[in-house]
Structure 1
Amino acid sequence: MTKAVFQLEPLTCPSCIKKIESMLTKTAGVESVKVLFNSSKVKTEFDGTRVEAAQLEKTIEKLGYEVLSAKVS
């Protein structure tokens, strides 16, 4: 299982959490998503053979959120 943490621009509303979690959860290979509102981070666990961190980053950006950095482990 691969883990990635995406640092986003500051989130402005709690509804952002549901929007991001909902979209990433629908992505094939994603096992879990947790959005931390106060720190503007998105923590994910996914099957690296089915989806790449770069794809998840693009999905977040398509929703209108800027990804400042990504840490994959």
Structure 2
Amino acid sequence: MQKATIQLETLTCPSCVMKVESAVKSVSGVEKESVNVMFNASKVKFDFDEAKLSVEDVEKAITALGYEVKKSQVKAK
């Protein structure tokens, strides 16, 4: 398992948080209980199985919703 943090454009409403959270949780290989979307910081933190997906797969799920990904950081758990 690896731990990822994705910096997003500024989130403007609580429903944005819910949309991003459900999109990240829907990606196969993401540990659903670990997903944490921080409204004030506009960040998403989650754990994922690097054998099943890359952080880019999660970025694509977020950008498909229309949110801009500023940067990503991945580290071993």
User: Structure 1 length normalisation: TM-score?
Assistant: 0.95
Q: For 1:37 and 1:18, locate their aligned partners in 2 and report how far apart those are by CA, in whole Å.
A: 10
Q: For 1:70 and 1:28, locate their aligned partners in 2 and report how far apart those are by CA, in whole Å.
A: 18
Shift of 1:70: 0.5
Structure 1 segments (4+ residues) deviating >6 Å: none
Matches within 5 A, 1:1-73: 1-31=1-31, 32-73=34-75
Aligned-pair Cα RMSD in Å? 0.8
User: Higher strand fraction: Structure 1 or Structure 2?
Assistant: 1
Q: For 2:6 and 2:20, locate their aligned partners in 1 and report how far apart those are by CA, in whole Å.
A: 12
Q: For 2:22 and 2:58, locate their aligned partners in 1 and report how far apart those are by CA, in whole Å.
A: 12
Unaligned 5+ residue runs, structure 1? none
